[in-house]
Chains A and B, each alone.
Chain A
Amino acid sequence: MKEILEKIKTKYEVTDVLQKRADLLFFTIDKKMVLDILNYLKELEGFTHLVMLSSVDWLEENKFQLTYIINHPINKHDIAIRVDLNRDEATMDSIHHIWIHAETDQREIKELFGIDFPGSPGVDEDFVLEDWDEIPPMRRDFDTLEYSERTFFPRDGRKTYDTKEYMKSKLYPDDKQ
Chain B
Amino acid sequence: MSIKDILSPFSAWKKVIKDPVTVKDPFNDRPGAPRYRGFHKNELDKCIGCGACEEICQNAAIDMVPVEGIETVEGDSGLRPMVDYGRCCWCALCVDICSTNSLTLSNEYTWIDSDPDVFRFIPGYDKKEWDNSKLGWTKPKNYDLNTYERVEMKELHPEERDKSFIEFVKGYSKEQAEAEADRCIDCGLCTATCPAHMSIPEYIKAIRNDDMEEGLRIMYETNPLPEICGRICTHKCETVCAIGHKGEPLSIRWLKRYIADQVPESKYKEVLEQGLEITPKSKKVAIIGSGPSGLSAAYYLSRMGYATKIFESLPEAGGMMRYGIPSYRLPYDQIDKDINYILSCGVEIEYNVKIGKDITIEQLEKDYDAVFSGTGLHLGRSTRIPGSEHENVFFATDLLREISLGTEIKVDEKIVVIGGGNVAMDITRSLARLQNQKYGKVDVLATCLEAEDIMPADREEVVEAREEKAIVDPGWGPKDIKIENGKIKGLNVVKCLSVFDDEGRFSPKFDEDKKKFFPAEMVVESIGQGMDLTYIDSIKDKLEFSDRGRIVVNEKYQSSLPWFFVGGDIIKGPDVINGIANGHIAAKGIDEFLNKK
Contact = CB atoms under 8 A, between A and B. Distances in A.
Contact of A164 (B58, B78, B201, B222): B201
B50 interface: yes
Given A163-B49, A174-B555, A176-B588, A152 B54 contact: no
B87 interface: yes
B222 A177 contact: yes
A148 B120 contact: no
Interface centre among A144, A148, A157, A160 (most CB of B within 10 A): A160
Interface centre among A155, A164, A168 (most CB of B within 10 A): A164
B66 A166 contact: yes
A18 interface: no
Interface residues of B, number: 39
Contacts of A76: none
Nearest to A169: B72
Interface string B117-155: 100100000000000000000000000000000000000
Contact of B197 (A148, A158, A168, A170): A168
A176 B555 CA distance: 12
A20 interface: no
Interface stretch (B188-196, B260-268, B377-385, B411-419): B188-196
A159 B73 CA distance: 22
Contacts of A144: 58-59
B432 to A, nearest CB: 40
A175 B79 contact: no
B49 A145 contact: no
B584 interface: yes
B86 interface: yes
A134 interface: no
Nearest to B71: A170
Contact of B65 (A148, A161, A176, A177): A161
Contacts, number: 86
A171 interface: yes
Contacts of A168: 191-192, 197
B58 A145 contact: yes
A171 B72 contact: yes
Nearest to A149: B60
Interface in A70-123: none
Contacts of B584: 177
Given A170-B72, A174-B555, A163 B50 contact: yes
A132 interface: no
B60 A154 contact: yes
B197 A159 contact: no
B65 A152 contact: no
Interface string B21-59: 000000000000000000000000000011100100111
Nearest to B63: A160
A164 B188 contact: yes
B87 A148 contact: yes
A158 B188 contact: no
Nearest to A176: B588
A164 B191 contact: yes
Given A175-B585, A177-B222, A166 B120 contact: no
Interface in B171-197: 187-189, 191-192, 196-197
Given A161-B65, A170-B78, A177 B51 contact: no
Contacts of A174: 555
A172 B585 CA distance: 12
A177 B198 CA distance: 8
B64 interface: yes
Contacts of A159: 63, 65
A170 B66 CA distance: 11
11 contacts: A145-B58, A154-B60, A159-B65, A163-B77, A166-B64, A166-B78, A171-B72, A172-B197, A175-B197, A177-B221, A177-B222
User: Across chains A and B, which 10 residue pairs bring their CB atoms closest together, nearest first?
Assistant: A164-B188, A160-B63, A170-B72, A144-B58, A167-B192, A148-B59, A163-B77, A177-B197, A163-B188, A163-B51
Interface of B: 49-51, 54, 57-60, 62-66, 72-74, 77-79, 84, 86-87, 116-117, 120, 187-189, 191-192, 196-197, 201, 221-222, 555, 584-585, 588
Interface of A: 144-145, 148-149, 152, 154-155, 157-164, 166-168, 170-172, 174-177
Given A144-B58, A155-B86, A161-B79, 15 more contacts: A148-B58, A152-B59, A155-B117, A155-B120, A161-B65, A162-B64, A164-B192, A166-B66, A166-B72, A166-B77, A167-B72, A167-B77, A168-B197, A171-B74, A177-B196
